[in-house]
Structure 1
């Protein structure tokens, strides 16, 4: 029963630079708990139930520089890309923008909707959504549906809403 259901749930890929909070975010979504995480080597995957009839299979892919060249291998059957950034770290926004631009140029992602999650919004010096959007040059992505939302993986703020929005983006695309 569970197998049939998970194979029919849309594949969502969670990407972003190392230390953006992807694994913490996925663990919080799946368990409701904050878990100690270590840098992801490879990937984590889980099925997120949005309601009785709707689930998403979420793949959290490691974000270290050495792993980014293999990101493209996770894109088969990807229905939405969720790109996570650390909104409290303006010094890495240029690197994040380059990584996002590179992955969005992959053929497998043509027409695939994008959700950017500005994580760590609970921290006092986090950037605004507009600042993150500008740093990542999101307005230039006129060829795909995209949204940006703030969240806090640690506090669990905005996560469920973000993935409900991801599901809506998938349905629109």
Structure 2
């Protein structure tokens, strides 16, 4: 099971819906093209979804609502991967998202599993730039000192940009585990 967490309103639910749609969607290069924008409601509690990865195997994604942040650590047992989603267009929330991420990565009961930092909402004009995000999150230090594999991907759950990169990460890190 791959755990999907992040603050409230960052787009976790839409991202998971896009991952579900990806296996049947038309593909252009490494991006998927989606013609519709599915409706979503904020996740209250937890949601389990099976996602087919390149029609080869399924991965169960467990999404935890952002309001559950204080108890995320109770869901770390038996996970094989962790996706942490951040809304890079929400300038008021990014600092808190960084603190939450550091809290998660320093949790004693977090297994040594691969981590994917998903920087969502790249389609929004007033988003943080790549260099601003790297500086705010001190990504090079996280990668160096975290004790686990940490990768990052830029995504727009609205347009589908980056969904293929997440599927590739799931294939490389969550297959056969």
The TM-score range, normalised by the shorter chain, is: 0.7 to 0.9
**Aligned partners of 2:163 and 2:3: how far apart in 1?**
15
Of 138, 152, 159, 1:155 maps to 159
Aligned equivalents of 2:83 and 2:55: distance in 1?
A: 22
Change in CA separation of 1:80 and 1:130 when aligned onto 2, cut-off 3 Å = farther
Deviation of 1:144 (Å): 1.4
Structure with greater helix percent? 1
- Dislocated runs of 4+, deviation >6 Å: none
1:170 CA drift (Å):
4.5
Deviations 1:102-127 (A, max 9, x none): 11122332421111111000111222
Partner of 2:3: 13
Gaps of 5+ in 2: 23-35
Pick one of 120, 129, 148 that aligns with 1:144.
148
Distance apart, 1:148 and its partner CA: 1.0
- List aligned pairs for 1:1-173, cutoff 5 A: 11-31=1-21, 34-64=37-67, 67-141=68-142, 142=144, 143-170=147-174
Please say which of residues 48-57 and 110-119 is displaced more in the overlay. Answer: 48-57
- Taking a change above 3 Å as real, the CA distance of residues 55 and 131 of structure 1, as seen in their structure-2 partners, is farther
Gaps in structure 1 of 5+ consecutive residues: 1-10
8 Å Cα contact 1:145-1:169 kept in structure 2:
no
User: Normalised by the size of structure 1, how large is the TM-score?
Assistant: 0.83
The answer to whether the Cα contact below 8 Å between 2:120 and 2:156 also exists between their aligned partners in 1 is yes
Greater relative CO, 1 or 2 (CA 8 Å, sep 6+): 2
Could you say what the CA RMSD is over the residues aligned between the two structures, in angstroms?
1.9
3-state SS in 1 of match to 2:59: strand
Residue 53 of structure 1 deviates from its aligned partner by: 2.3
Aligned match of 1:3: none
Q: Provide the TM-score with structure 2 as the length reference.
A: 0.82
Give the Å deviation of 1:166.
3.5
